[in-house]
Structure 1
Amino acid sequence: MSQFEYEAMSEKGIIESTFGIQPNSDGTFTFIMNQKYPRKKDKVIQMRFTKNGLSAITGILRLLESREVNK
Structure 2
Amino acid sequence: MSQFEYEAMSEKGIIESTFGIQPNSDGTFTFIMNQKYPRKKDKAIQMRFTKNGLSAITGMLRLLESREADK
Bin the TM-score by the shorter chain.
Answer: over 0.9
Spell out, residue by residue over 1:13-57, the C-alpha distance to the aligned partner (whole angstroms, 9 max, x if none): 000000000000110000000000000000000000000000000
**Identity value in percent:** 94
TM superposition outliers: structure 1 runs of 4+ over 4 Å: none
Cα drift, residue 2 of structure 1: 1.3
CA distance in 1, matches of 2:32, 2:21: 6
What is aligned with 1:38?
A: 38
Gaps of 5+ in 2: none
Gaps of 5+ in 1: none
CA distance in 2, matches of 1:50, 1:63: 20
Q: Pairwise CA RMSD of aligned residues?
A: 0.5
Q: What is the count of residue pairs matched by the alignment? A: 71
